[in-house]
Amino acid sequence: MQEVSNEDAPRDFLELFFPIHYSVGMTIEDTLRSGVLTRQQTIILWLIRAKGVDGKKMSRKEIVKSMSYWFELTNSAISKALRSLAKPPLGFLLITEDPASGREKIIQLTPKGEKFLLQMVENGRLLVKHITDELTEDEIKNGLHFFRRVSEIFDREVEQKRDLPGSIMIKPSVKKKV
């Protein structure tokens, strides 16, 4: 294994962004979509699974907050994706009024949605197994540790509403014509 200095690590990790995010991440996402869902629908179901109460329900407001943070989606685009998941032929979600607020909605998996989500997880697990079958136990252990730590750091920064150093955008200067 090649030695990497702390000084070179940011550059070397950045070089992995494209292959990890687009090649690996999108392949996993496409597998989770199961040929049935849009990307937005897939993310909504995964959000409910990951951050929802008992992995089964979540407020619409929290779904919008997470998806708006990650993607350039409008409130109406998210509403459209939620409605499409609730209506036939999918019928994966039940959308009800929040008893604490008539304006807020609660999004909950239907039994059909729970079953589909279980199949999504199994499809993803089988894809990832294909990858982990080629890794050593140490590579798996170190990889899991690394991804957990990176996730903890980003979650902490976002939770504390800090600007991450990399979130500073350097815009090209544009000269105005006089």
Residue 138 domain-assigned (yes or no):
no
∠ at Cα 165 (14, 22), nearest 5°?
A: 30
Q: What is the pLDDT of residues 60-82, one digit of tens each?
A: 999 998 888 778 888 899 999 99
Per residue, what are the HEC states of 135-176? CCHHHHHHHHHHHHHHHHHHHHHHHCCCCCHHHCCCCCCCCC
Provide the domain count of the chain: 1
Residue 65 domain-assigned (yes or no):
yes
- What pLDDT shows up at residue 168? 46
Residue 146 domain-assigned (yes or no):
no
Give the domain CATH number at 67: 1.10.10.10
Report residue 168 as tokens.
């500073």
Give me the DSSP letters along the chain: -----TTTHHHHHHHHHHIIIIIIIHHHHHHHHTTT--HHHHHHHHHHHHHSBTTTEEEHHHHHHHHHHHS---HHHHHHHHHHHHSTTT--EEEEEETTEEEEEEEEE-HHHHHHHHHHHHHHHHHHHHHHTTS-HHHHHHHHHHHHHHHHHHHHHHHTTPPPGGG---PPP-PPP-
| Residue range(s) defining the domain that contains residue 53 | 12-132
Residue 108 domain-assigned (yes or no):
yes
Those residues with Cβ within 8 angstroms of residue 55's Cβ, 6 or more apart along the chain or in another chain: 48, 49
Q: Which residues of the chain have pLDDT under 50?
A: 168-171, 178
What's the CA gap between 108 and 95, in Å, rounded? 7
Residue 128 domain-assigned (yes or no):
yes
Q: What is the separation, in whole angstroms, between the first and last Cα of the chain?
A: 57
Residue 20 domain-assigned (yes or no):
yes
Residue 167 domain-assigned (yes or no):
no
Residue 82 domain-assigned (yes or no):
yes
